[in-house]
């Protein structure tokens, strides 16, 4: 793709996929314009960098469609002082978007190959306030807690209490929760040491994160 064509494709992605999906936050739209999504896509899928689809990554993982990444970021309402925990780094694109808005990002990726890929991508994008760790995201990063924001880069059947316990009071967790065929994006805010408030945002599906507990099929 020539540079002009790339920029036109990026513009079309923002105007035709992201904006119509109720993403109106000018800071988020500007980030999608500034951070080069194509640099975070595996070489064999470069031509689909701006398509409205999930892009395959190593280890049977995927990079979420642009509109999902943008909507999660908008719901996260990242502040410049935020310390962020991201679960599921993937190729590092959402990590880069978060890092451009937050003070610090710790991103956990269970797949070593993906963790290496994301580190290289972030370095190339000159992102220096994000750290990728090869770790099981279901456990969070208790030693670094509490966090202002925890963002899950894939779906979970239910949010583990271990992650909620790592939020600051006033902090929020953004996740796509549920199972096929219908999942709900939620923002869960910690309102006190023992209480949480859940806002349902929108419905869509995302591939499940690895190693998160499945809810019991039996209801007593």
Has residue 96 got a pLDDT over 80?
Answer: yes
Closest to 5 measured CA to CA, from 40, 65, 46, 56: 46
Kindly indicate the confidence band of residue 29, based on its pLDDT and cuts at 50, 70 and 90.
Answer: very high
Q: Which domains are delineated in the chain?
A: 3-203 (3.40.50.150)
- 10 Å CB burial of residue 160 (0-12, 13-18, 19+) is middle
Task: Write down the pLDDT at residue 220.
Answer: 44
Average pLDDT, integer, range 192-208: 95
Half-sphere exposure of 217 (CA within 13 A, CB side): 0
User: Are the C-beta atoms of residues 120 and 146 closer than 8 Å to each other?
Assistant: no
| H or E element, residue 182 | strand 182-190
Task: Write down the pLDDT at residue 217.
Answer: 58
Q: Which residue has the tokens 């031509």?
A: 47
Mean pLDDT, rounded, of the chain: 95
Query: What proportion of the chain, given as a percentage, has pLDDT over 70?
Result: 97
Specify the DSSP class assigned to residue 213. P
pTM score: 0.95
Kindly indicate the confidence band of residue 60, based on its pLDDT and cuts at 50, 70 and 90.
Answer: confident
Average pLDDT, integer, range 8-21: 97
Kindly indicate the confidence band of residue 182, based on its pLDDT and cuts at 50, 70 and 90.
Answer: confident
187 forms bridges with which residues in the sheet? 174, 199
Average pLDDT, integer, range 62-88: 97
Cis peptide before 146 (omega within 30 of 0): yes
Average pLDDT, integer, range 65-90: 97
Has residue 172 got a pLDDT over 60?
Answer: yes
SS3 80: coil
| Interatomic CA distance for residues 113 and 58, integer angstroms | 7
3-class SS shares of the chain: helix, strand, coil, % to 5? 35, 30, 35
| Interatomic CA distance for residues 52 and 112, integer angstroms | 27
């Amino acid at each position: 793709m020539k540079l002009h064509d790339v920029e036109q494709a990026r513009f079309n992605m923002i105007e035709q996929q992201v904006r119509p999906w109720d993403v109106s936050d000018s800071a988020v739209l500007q980030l999608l314009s500034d951070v080069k999504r194509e640099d975070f896509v595996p070489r064999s899928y470069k031509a689909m960098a701006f398509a409205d689809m999930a892009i395959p990554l190593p280890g049977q993982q995927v990079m979420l469609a642009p509109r999902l990444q943008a909507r999660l970021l908008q719901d996260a309402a990242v502040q410049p002082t935020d310390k962020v925990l991201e679960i599921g780094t993937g190729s590092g694109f959402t990590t880069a978007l978060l890092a451009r808005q937050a003070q610090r990002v710790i991103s956990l990726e269970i797949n070593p190959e993906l963790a290496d890929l994301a580190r290289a991508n972030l370095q190339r994008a000159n992102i220096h306030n994000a750290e990728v760790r090869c770790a099981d995201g279901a456990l969070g990063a208790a030693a670094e807690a509490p966090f202002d924001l925890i963002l899950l880069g894939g779906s979970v059947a239910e949010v583990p209490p271990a992650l909620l316990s790592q939020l600051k009071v006033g902090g929020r967790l953004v996740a796509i929760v549920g199972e096929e065929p219908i999942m709900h994006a939620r923002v869960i805010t910690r309102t006190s040491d023992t209480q949480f408030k859940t806002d349902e945002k929108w419905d869509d599906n995302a591939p499940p994160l690895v190693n998160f507990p499945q809810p019991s099929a039996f209801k007593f």
